Amino acid sequence: MNTAKIPSQDFDAFRAFLEESSGIVLGENKHYLVLSRLGRLMREANIDSLGELVEQMRKPFSRGLKEQVIEAMTTNETFWFRDSFPFDILSQTILPDLASRRVRVPRIWSAACSSGQEAYSISMTMQEFMAGNPGKLGEAEILGTDIAPTVIQEAQAGRYDGLAVARGLSEERKQKYFTQQGLHWVVKDEIKRRVRFTLANLLQSYNPLGRFDVIFCRNVLIYFSTESKRDIIARMARCLNPGGYLFLGSSESITQHSDAFELVRAPRGSVYKLKEDLERGRLAGR
């Protein structure tokens, strides 16, 4: 099957299904992307067309197929300490602020965590802050969530090949926080113990996740519609503790989607901070 053979109604039906189930907004000219990511899955499932795939996914008891498709269409590009500045801000600005406010057990959420590099990078940052500032903060609770079951399993294992650990991770941190097992590197328990991973869809309720002091939602909102962005930001604002922080990707902004945050600038980047003087009723965004 090639892009010329995808009927427009089938492609539109698939786009609608993808947005409905995962929030991902697929561009009108992404036929090749769909085929490159789903071609093998469709061949293995003996599905001949995109229309047939949508039809199969809408049938009862098709959860396994839906999960495979969503996982294939989700971009899982990630590496350690990505862009570096969010972790500098966390260490130099946010954690001291939480310590000054006597937040004893900081809760940090890595949304769309993929295979766990961001969540474990947060844990390493926490480890280094606590070593340099003994007694200032208690053990953090770090939650990593993703919509894809396979990457959550990889994150929980904390086991990475040589290529994966080479992406953004210094040799010093690799030797300090990982144990080599053959051709793989495994995150040490001192880093892993404060991190938990679970499945979560950003379009669904966040209530089971609890409340947080910091949320990392980086390079995620670009895949959602304007309406979904507003909804996600509003609900993240509601699950942040007063004065909580929200990290977005360097090319993302919430200016048009919410008035619940103020921008805090740092030498190498910025982070959004929940406005403490807003009434909770206004945190639904606009």
Task: Return the H-helix or E-strand segment holding 150.
Answer: helix 149-157
Round to whole Å and give the CA distance between 113 and 199: 10
- Give the list of residues 6+ apart from residue 165 with CB closer than 8 angstroms, or none: 80, 174, 178, 185
Active site annotation includes 37 = yes
State how far the Cα of 25 lies from the Cα of 15, in Å rounded to an integer.
7
Q: How far is CA 223 from the centre of its chain?
A: 12
Does 238 participate in catalysis according to the annotation?
no
Q: Which of 12, 37, 97, 196 is catalytic?
A: 37
Instruction: Say how far apart CA 5 and CA 49 lie, in whole Å.
Output: 9
At residue 135, φ and ψ (nearest 5 deg) are 85, -5
Helices 149-157, 63-73: crossing angle, 10 deg rounding? 70
List the 184-187 sheet strands across, edge first. Answer: 159-161, 184-187, 178-181
Active-site choice (15, 82, 107, 146): 146
DSSP of 83-118, one letter per residue? TSHHHHHIIIIIHHHHHHTT-SS-EEEEET-TTTHH
Output the DSSP codes for 33-89: HHHHHHHHHHHHTT--SHHHHHHHHTSTT-HHHHHHHHHHHS-----TTTTSHHHHH
What positions carry a catalytic annotation?
A: 37, 146
